[in-house]
């Protein structure tokens, strides 16, 4: 996730970037996956807990918190699905003009 942000910064793209998770902690199979989910959720929402495990969350991740989403589609959306939550591609609701979809299984 941070590599995508760094690439967009390198290309001097100024659009706001949002991270969306379309799965729940209960979908995780083990403790490591639960930690991964919790941290991505912290990044997606820009929770204050992010400061306890990231040295500088704004510089490391670069994602905007969802509470700042204004409805404009002039943004970039990264969305992570699981096989369980993505039954078919028609379920994808794009909120931004540009998006990237990842499948976590």
pLDDT digits (tens, 9 = 90+) for 35-86: 888 888 888 888 877 777 766 655 567 788 888 888 888 888 888 877 666 6
Residue written as tokens 């794009």? 94
Max CA distance (Å), the chain? 38
Residue 97 has pLDDT above 60, yes or no: yes
C-alpha 35/C-alpha 52 separation (Å) is: 13
Domain span at 12: 2-104
pLDDT of residue 20: 83
- Per DSSP, the three-state class of 13 is coil
Work out how many domains the chain is built from and give that number. Answer: 1
pLDDT of residue 63: 83
66 backbone dihedrals φ, ψ, rounded to 5°: -60, -25
pLDDT of residue 66: 80
Residue 26 has pLDDT above 60, yes or no: yes
Sign of the dihedral through C-alpha 76, 65, 13, 55: negative
- Per DSSP, the three-state class of 39 is helix
How many helices, marked H, and strands, marked E, lie in the chain? Answer: 4, 3
Q: Which residue has the higher pLDDT, 104 or 39?
A: 39
């Amino acid at each position: 996730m941070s590599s995508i942000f760094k690439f967009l910064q390198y290309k001097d793209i100024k659009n706001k970037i949002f991270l969306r998770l379309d799965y729940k902690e209960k979908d995780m199979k083990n403790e490591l996956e639960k930690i991964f989910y919790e941290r991505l959720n912290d990044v997606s929402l820009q929770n204050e807990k992010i400061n306890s495990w990231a040295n500088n969350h704004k510089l490391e991740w670069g994602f905007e918190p969802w509470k700042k989403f204004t409805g404009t589609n002039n943004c970039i959306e990264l969305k992570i699905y699981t096989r369980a939550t993505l039954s078919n591609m028609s379920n994808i609701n794009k909120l931004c003009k540009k998006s990237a979809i990842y499948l976590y299984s």
